[in-house]
Amino acid sequence: MALDPTKHADWEIAEEAESRMKTVYELGERLGLEKEELLPHGHYVAKLDYRKILERLKDRPDGKYVDVTAITPTPLGEGKSTCAMGLVQGLGKRDRSVIGAIRQPSGGPTMNIKGSAAGGGLAQCIPLTPFSLGLTGDINAIMNAHNLGMVALTSRMQHEANYTDEQLAKRNLRRLDIHPKKVEFGWIIDFCAQALRNITIGLGGKMDGFTMQSKFGIAVSSEIMAILAVASDLRDMRERIGKIVVAYDKQDRPITTADLEVDGAMTAWMVEALNPNLVQTIEGQPVMVHAGPFANIAIGQSSVIADRVALKLADYNVTESGFGADIGFEKFWNLKCRYSGLKPHCAVVVATIRALKCHGGAPIPVPGKPMPEEYKKENVGWVEEGCKNLVHHIETVKKAGINPVVCINAFYTDTDDEIKAVRRLSEAAGARVALSRHWQYGGDGALEFADAVVDACEEPNDFRFLYELDTPLSKRIELIAREVYGADGVSYSQEAQTKLKRMEADPDLKDMGTCMVKTHLSLSHDPSLKGVPKGWTLPIRDILTYKGAGFVVPVAGAISLMPGTASDPAYRRIDVDVETGKVKGVF
């Protein structure tokens, strides 16, 4: 008997459910895997040999492809991962063959405010501790590969500063003439460490490295993480890693990892990471976990490889895009689907009464502090006003030609009249609507949700991209700002304007996608603007180049690639039972 989520913490529920877990061998048998396709990491976690699976099943038709996105969240999140797990469990209860394909959580949020991304209540994936704390080492491989690139760059700069051209030639090196103030790359670490956003390295003597300003980003912001998400196979990954631009020379020419002759070694760290990881829901359905970029500062998708494998192994693949439809779904739509060639059958827009009230005028919740009392009282007016944000996201999904399903992620404080208002306004906007109580009841609470998704997947759609790759970069940014965010237009800093002109003149960048960086807490660049802001312009302050991943990255507002740790982080409540070795307190 599962524990009651109204009385027990998520980690307690997960720990109890883990006593009934299927082994990876049982999961593999259920999926029809052959022995050599399953690569166990213990009894309950495995990697999957994607090459062997895709080769064996290349003639099998794909299953239905479902993306889970959301409205603009509160700082506390809207339970999108919980909804994804609930949908997988609900489809399982309906005897549908289903797999989840989700992102790996970052150690930054897990040890900070947001927590793990395993879901919650009776809609989780397990085993929770391995899932939340490193899994099979993919993020560690990304950190090593990325930081090796920085080792190669900084050591080369030191040697070029200390040796003549003749001395470099004796060491079989040519002078790259790297501009110290045009270094694009930085270091990465998988924590939220604001103290590392701006650093100085190479202090000491000439044997201690090249002295310059540098920076750290969080691991999931690494271009290598983005490459893991979009790569089709090892050959593709190897080529992409060699195209990563780490800096520019004094003539403004790009310096790549291939120029540093480090791309092969970086790829070597990533070979095993290219295989998706296999875990399960607390009700025993298989879940693949692979790649983990944030949607506000990166592509925000699990891997193309995981989706391709899932669509061959099951009748339904439930994947998830980070944060709201304005950023996560937009990148799923215009980047991930473009790279994969896969066409989704429907998209779920997750909404909570709590978030709708926030967009409708209620006080904004503050992470680490109690939820304001106003959220515990019925206020249909706030909900109706907040539904403008929901309808905006429904319209975004419809612009992609995909059938939208609104999932009302139920909380015990929601009232019947508030739920009726959401149903009425969502249906008027052309979406199916389902109330789901998966957090409290697991798959049994997600049957209406599962049925709505099945119906939506059977209905024809007309999937289409927002822009074609021959659309100029400035026009793409304008289209995303106006059509997806609701902006009146776009403005550029002087630096961004200079880069924009250079990029639009560069034929090598012509076929690259556009990966926007923007706050997830508002449709605009300003996290304090809730609902559907009007009369504003999107300010682009910088544009980065991710040649390996295959996209340019316009950066809007003041968002940072290195989040900060709050004053009351989760690590204060995480500990280990020294008798059993079990970790407690992960949520």
How confident is the model over 282-290, as a mean pLDDT?
Answer: 98
**Residue 564 or residue 368, greater confidence:** 564
pLDDT value at residue 2: 82
Any domain includes 350:
no
- Of 240, 265, 290, which residue sits at a domain end? 265
Any domain includes 234:
yes
Contact 337, 304 (CB under 8 A): no
Number of domains in the chain: 2
Any domain includes 165:
yes
Dump pLDDT digits (tens) for 132-171. Answer: 999 999 999 999 999 999 999 999 999 999 999 999 999 9
Any domain includes 21:
no
pLDDT value at residue 77: 73
Instruction: Give catalytic residue positions.
Output: 80, 82, 103, 114, 295, 323, 411, 439
Q: Which helix (H) or strand (E) segment is 227 a member of? A: helix 223-230
Any domain includes 251:
yes
pLDDT at 368 over 80: no
pLDDT value at residue 78: 73
pLDDT value at residue 115: 77
pLDDT value at residue 506: 87
Q: In which domain, by residue range, is 487 found? A: 473-556
Average pLDDT of the chain to the nearest whole number: 94
pLDDT tier at 298, thresholds 50, 70, 90: confident
Q: ω before 127 within 30° of 0 (cis)?
A: yes
The secondary structure of residue 336, as a DSSP letter, is I
Show Cβ contacts of residue 183 under 8 Å, excluding neighbours closer than 6 positions. Answer: 153, 212, 214, 246, 247
Domain CATH code at residue 149: 3.30.1510.10
pLDDT value at residue 87: 98
Dump pLDDT digits (tens) for 303-317. Answer: 999 999 999 999 999
Q: ω before 372 within 30° of 0 (cis)?
A: no
Dump pLDDT digits (tens) for 433-455. Answer: 999 999 999 999 999 999 999 99
Tell me if the pTM is above 0.85.
Answer: yes
Any domain includes 146:
yes
pLDDT at 587 over 80: no
Domain CATH code at residue 524: 3.10.410.10
Any domain includes 143:
yes
The CA-CA-CA angle for residues 331, 333, 337, to 5°, reads 100
pLDDT at 74 over 90: no
The CA-CA-CA angle for residues 468, 474, 478, to 5°, reads 80
Any domain includes 273:
no
